[in-house]
Amino acid sequence: MFEQLKTATPLETVNVTLDGVAITLPKGMTLAAALLVHGAYPLRTSPVQGPDGPKQRAPYCMMGVCFECLVEIDGKPNQQSCLAQVRDGMVVNRQDGAPDIKGDRT
């Protein structure tokens, strides 16, 4: 379980949509850390099936190296949530397997 330091000054929160549900997360926090604190992990299942089914994955390195923390952000799949910051109105989806790349979304 992850939590924010009790001694830290509370951060302003903003509205984020996670898997279609409205939640609030601390503004400016690393998205991966915010999702961990929110309890919203695992973040995805691996696109590669193991012998005993899909593999749940969650952030591992928090420094942009391991690519385990991939989520869909504002329609763009496979974004490293450890390199993204929580923004107001962000739409985040956890991923199940390989992403379905869709047409123009801009």
**Residue 36 interacts with another protein (CB under 8 A): yes or no:** yes
Written as one letter, the residue type at 9 is T
**Residue 87 interacts with another protein (CB under 8 A): yes or no:** no
Q: What is the distance between the alpha carbons of residues 32 and 23, in angstroms, rounded to a whole number?
A: 15
Q: What is the distance between the alpha carbons of residues 26 and 50, in angstroms, rounded to a whole number?
A: 35
**Residue 98 interacts with another protein (CB under 8 A): yes or no:** yes
Residue 103 burial (CB count, 10 A): 4
> By CB under 8 A, which span of 16-24, 39-47, 87-95 interacts with another protein?
39-47
Q: Which residues bind another protein (CB under 8 A)?
A: 1-9, 26, 29-30, 33-34, 36-37, 41-42, 46-50, 55-68, 70, 76-78, 83, 85, 97-105
